[in-house]
Structure 1
């Protein structure tokens, strides 16, 4: 096997393990004492380390090795998880993902991971681990203030502000862990020499134990210091180890994020979050039958995790070898070939019914049964659960919630809803924009929510469901909602609409203004949203996929974004109907039932035609009027066939001329043709060679 094949396998399996690590760390953050989760995390990290070392990616292997060492202490009950360890491991995962993506793009996978490795070594080599285990509360909170671990690992607001200002000013900030030989008789003198060296080259901000205790010899043979120093990391380490009877000096360069994590206020907030997890995830797991692969493409996403998190899946680990990875282009070719075969099959069925030869009929019927089974398999090969996209969001919401000091529950439903792989590969970025917007602009801060009489924990619902020939993905939050006056003011200021046009806009039209290019109501620009380049990108991408996005919002109550996407399957089941001389197809998945109504059953409500259906009144749609049919008008008929279609919870009755029957049809996109006809989603070639347009029932229901 050539190296390209090995590389492709390495990338796919690395993505699988990284996704598993992210998901399991999030679970562990909610259940910090569940050691079975730690076992799963350790196995994934251990496997990833071995794979990276085998492929020669040393930075990947070394970082994973240090993470594995920490996890080994946790799984053997020698270390309890707390906020600092979680954040350090998550930073490690981010670095691993960045290195894998660099490899995907043809890079070497090298990165400067010394800061993260140093943080992991602080956990391993200092007295942090021992004190954490012996003195931390059972709920895995940050140790109490009396423990030496907290004294070492935490900084008060004043100390952290000094260190942060120094980092911003370009100075080096270090955490130094000193160990003195146990044979040393004057350890306080050696400690003084260390302090003297540090003060001559910078400033000591904090020591553990305190300088007074060290001076009075009230410490063991180790102590730690936070210092600002003009020396480089290597220079400082060398000079410290040159002091007589100093056994070791671990010097860790700190960045701003590490200092923030170590501050007392941050640790206290994190301890509270550990009691009430900020992010909860509801998933409906459904393992795909085939793992798809895009070869060297950077968008290749894991479809099934090798290290599964569910007990049932762990028991079925022997079945992992029964899955294979298939290049998506091969599936495209297979689908196109079968589409042509289906057109010929329908034509053969029609000819068989005309010729009426028994042997021909039997042969065609057998071919129909076999091809139907083949069709089912081909379709399943291309279908991927949206979970392969959704599984990246819990971690993202967790990080955003922490950075904005908000409490957010992410509730995922319908994760097993399946979409064609070509659509799955494109929807990730639009959903990221919508979720970021919901976190940043939608959900209020804890204080704002309490003042508004809401629960302090905001909720974001991420849903997916099928409706007809489409999949709907909804992002709904219970936040502040859209302020219409503010939106109009911004739209007029940015030239999106004129003041005259603004006066005639409905609430729904005002909501849609936020999709205008360059539109933003953010008071300040942030890295999360507010740059005016988010939601217009969403609409552009969704439109390019043949879908659309709508907004429902109530000020003070929340906002719901609804994304409608076509399945873009090549083959669907449909009901063929006629309108005069023209033939059309309606996807069966949208049809509730068919029937016949008389002219006197049609009701007129505020100028709209309605009809009674199952003890409720639903709209009646004239398909001939929508499609401008040249030779059929249901007003001339005393009785009219109807098709009751649905879009989510909404129903409508569609008037047609005549039913032809059910059929399997090949869906062909129209490209740039008939773009002004919204009720058409594609076309198909019938068995007699004629073309029939495919109706989009979702466009008929408002």
Structure 2
């Protein structure tokens, strides 16, 4: 069975051929040097690197025969290094025979590539058709190896063969190939950045002084050629039609076009004038922007066609004019304006990589600034009320407003640095759906919407697993089999939509399918059967509350457990992961119409740093608390007679709805309810699914605050998300309304 390629992969194989021929040339020269000086360790190391590169790139394009042959040569080189064989003419001849064999094969392969029709679904078999040639070459290499082997004892050969067989097995293993795939990316990125730095800080500086430095021009050509080949190998390892692949193709196009320009300059002896210097700096900046985006995996919008147009314009001028005319044309004002325009547009995309810890530290300092600002509010009020110096109090108030403005701008600027597009998570989902479709026999499509929606980097990192779980559930348990869908009058192909959009201070992610939906009555019966709720409790629950039963630990409606499982398995973990990043999830579903999971997330999150928010200060049982404003629907005053008790729980009427109500002092301290007041202060809260109310003794003022996370045993206090420091130095607890309803 031969490896084969299709016409769209021709460029990748051509890059492999070019890299292979370059390595073979080096191998041929170095093997002849090795025949003279077999003790040269540096020479042996260089030979190793070349053979490993051939083996690695052959593996990427599926040439297992070349991998096997190259492995035999590696064994010989290692034996020379370990002084287990003596270098003689027969050994060198064997390796040279391998070099000639590969050179002949790659030349023939290139000729066949040129004949491949790119307009039809053409296929090309990469392996050599006569496997006998490979076997004969392997036999020759092993015979040369054995004839030069220095035997210590009778068993050394057998032991060596066992070790080599084990090494070959490792080489061909899936684990080895995965590790190799991961390593090629890092190698490509670091080598490219190092080479581009050399061009920018050395070669172009030399050309700026001497526009006829042919050594510098040739070195830039070599770097671009090597980068293009490395990008091609890296391109072969990334998912098809992924954002990474599209960026790499654009990267390779710019490198290839710039390489053509350099070759033309070198061949026609064109002076490397200032316009070319300017353009070259722009190209390097542009390519480094790509590399930075690959490092951070935040693929920016780098489709700047002006760079490519600038390169092509120079190529066109060199091809259509003489050398003297070119020099004159290149110095025109029009050309300078073009380069300036390209430079201006390119500079927008320049970026700098910053360690996340530095950003976290900056955010911590901003949080301390907010605490200091709150102190000004407290001091200003004290000066006015207690010391009767309103003039100074007023001046301090103006300074506080100024400090507040600076603090907010600084916070927004730092937060914007942490924001990344959600496409980095969304791009993982098509593969998930495809795999499930193949394993279950279902037909389905995934549509992605709002990939450019931005979220805090920390949230992006933590939302991936819950989304994968929800997409799996939608595909496996939501979408029906094709014949079932047809019987229901639905299209044969199921539809799953993954969308993201921002609204105010939140980002919403929706996972919507047109599958069989969730039967609330089925959930109710299953919950009663498993003892999660009583029938009496179930009858009082709304449809929304019944659907939320699916988030109970251990709850599932799956008929059988599979590798993918059904909707419900692990949904409690999904919810807890979302809640842990200050998010919320709710369900909308209709039987045979489909299901929509709606995730609400904050735009920003503090996990390794302090979070700045705004809240309402309240007092209950002589204790002060802060309730974040984002959970507050409103506040009202009600009469005690409007509170009704049922099944040892309190309820109240609010705008036609009946909602739960409880005293905050009782939730946290199990104290008796205050019976001394008839008019009560009530705060209406929402956890994203339903509204509820808490009674407090006093409603104080609104204030910005900094969340200080609690450590140790304090971190697990239910209903409390952290603490903060008020302007007067008082430490208060921050209420977590999402947990509060469960405590009522």
**TM-score with structure 2 setting the length:** 0.48
Does structure 1 retain, via aligned residues, the 8 Å contact 2:63–2:126?
Answer: no
Matched with 2:458 is 422
| Two-structure CA RMSD over aligned residues (Å) | 5.8
Is 1:450 equivalent to 2:473 in the alignment? Answer: no
Q: 1:112 to 1:437 in 2, by over 3 A?
A: farther
1:337 deviates by 1.4
Question: How do residues 467-616 of structure 1 correspond to structure 2 at under 5 angstroms?
Answer: 473-481=509-517, 501=531, 511-512=550-551, 522=560, 525=563, 538=574, 542=578, 558-559=594-595, 561=597, 567-569=604-606, 570-602=611-643, 608-613=650-655, 616=656
Is 1:698 equivalent to 2:738 in the alignment? Answer: yes
Is 1:301 equivalent to 2:342 in the alignment? Answer: no
1:667 deviates by 1.0
1:112 deviates by 2.1
Does structure 1 retain, via aligned residues, the 8 Å contact 2:517–2:592?
Answer: yes
Tell me which of 103, 112, 118 is aligned to 1:129.
118
Does structure 1 retain, via aligned residues, the 8 Å contact 2:292–2:352?
Answer: no
1:333 deviates by 0.5
What SS does the corresponding residue of 2:59 show, helix, strand or coil? coil
Does structure 2 retain, via aligned residues, the 8 Å contact 1:482–1:511?
Answer: no
What SS does the corresponding residue of 1:628 show, helix, strand or coil? helix
Q: 1:602 & 1:535 partners in 2: Cα distance? A: 35
Q: Deviation per CA, 1:595-644: give whole Å up to 9, x if none.
A: 3333355567886512233xx42525224256335778465422223333
What SS does the corresponding residue of 1:337 show, helix, strand or coil? helix
Is 1:113 equivalent to 2:141 in the alignment? Answer: no
Q: 1:651 to 1:591 in 2, by over 3 A?
A: same
1:332 deviates by 0.5
Question: How do residues 309-320 of structure 1 correspond to structure 2 at under 5 angstroms?
Answer: 318=346, 320=348
Q: 2:498 & 2:510 partners in 1: Cα distance? A: 6
Q: 2:703 & 2:657 partners in 1: Cα distance? A: 30
1:584 deviates by 1.6
Which structure has the higher relative contact order (CA within 8 Å, separation 6+)?
1
Is 1:628 equivalent to 2:656 in the alignment? Answer: no
Matched with 2:470 is 434
Does structure 2 retain, via aligned residues, the 8 Å contact 1:511–1:553?
Answer: no
Does structure 2 retain, via aligned residues, the 8 Å contact 1:618–1:652?
Answer: no
Q: 1:549 & 1:581 partners in 2: Cα distance? A: 34
Does structure 1 retain, via aligned residues, the 8 Å contact 2:709–2:715?
Answer: no
Does structure 2 retain, via aligned residues, the 8 Å contact 1:682–1:694?
Answer: yes
Gaps of 5+ in 2: 1-7, 24-54, 65-105, 138-240, 244-288, 306-340, 384-388, 539-545
Q: 1:531 & 1:564 partners in 2: Cα distance? A: 20
Q: 1:632 & 1:454 partners in 2: Cα distance? A: 58
Q: 1:701 & 1:123 partners in 2: Cα distance? A: 71
More helix as a share of residues: 2
Tell me which of 353, 362, 365 is aligned to 1:334.
362
More strand as a share of residues: 1
Q: 2:580 & 2:19 partners in 1: Cα distance? A: 41
Matched with 2:372 is 344
Q: 1:514 & 1:344 partners in 2: Cα distance? A: 43
Q: 2:479 & 2:58 partners in 1: Cα distance? A: 35
Q: 1:521 to 1:593 in 2, by over 3 A?
A: same
Gaps of 5+ in 1: 1-40, 63-107, 133-148, 154-173, 179-197, 202-230, 238-278, 282-292, 492-496
Matched with 2:678 is 638
What SS does the corresponding residue of 2:349 show, helix, strand or coil? helix
Q: Deviation per CA, 1:260-307: give whole Å up to 9, x if none.
A: xxxxxxxxxxxxxxxxxxx9x9xxxxxxxxxxx9x9999943163323
What SS does the corresponding residue of 1:666 show, helix, strand or coil? strand
Q: Deviation per CA, 1:230-262: give whole Å up to 9, x if none.
A: x3796899xxxxxxxxxxxxxxxxxxxxxxxxx
Q: 2:409 & 2:402 partners in 1: Cα distance? A: 11
Matched with 1:21 is none
What SS does the corresponding residue of 1:436 show, helix, strand or coil? helix
Q: 1:473 to 1:113 in 2, by over 3 A?
A: same
Question: How do residues 199-278 of structure 1 correspond to structure 2 at under 5 angstroms?
Answer: 231=131
Q: 1:176 & 1:419 partners in 2: Cα distance? A: 45
Q: Deviation per CA, 1:428-449: give whole Å up to 9, x if none.
A: 1332233123223331222221
